[in-house]
Amino acid sequence: MLDATIFDRFAMGFSLGVHILLVMFGMTLPVIILLADFMWLRKKDMIYRTLSERLTAVFAISLEWALRQECLWP
Residue-by-residue DSSP string for 16-37: HHHHHHHHHHHHHHHHHHHHHH
Inside any domain, residue 18? no
- The total number of structural domains that make up the chain: 1
Can you give the residue range of the structural domain that contains 67?
A: 23-72
Contact 59, 29 (CB under 8 A): yes
pTM above 0.75, yes or no: no
Inside any domain, residue 14? no
Supply the pLDDT for residue 11: 92
Inside any domain, residue 29? yes
Supply the pLDDT for residue 65: 84
Per-position pLDDT tens, the chain of length 74: 678 888 999 999 999 999 898 888 888 989 999 999 999 999 999 999 999 999 999 999 888 888 887 787 76
φ, ψ of residue 45 to 5 degrees: the values are -95, 125
Beta carbons within 8 Å of 45's beta carbon, 6+ residues apart: 39
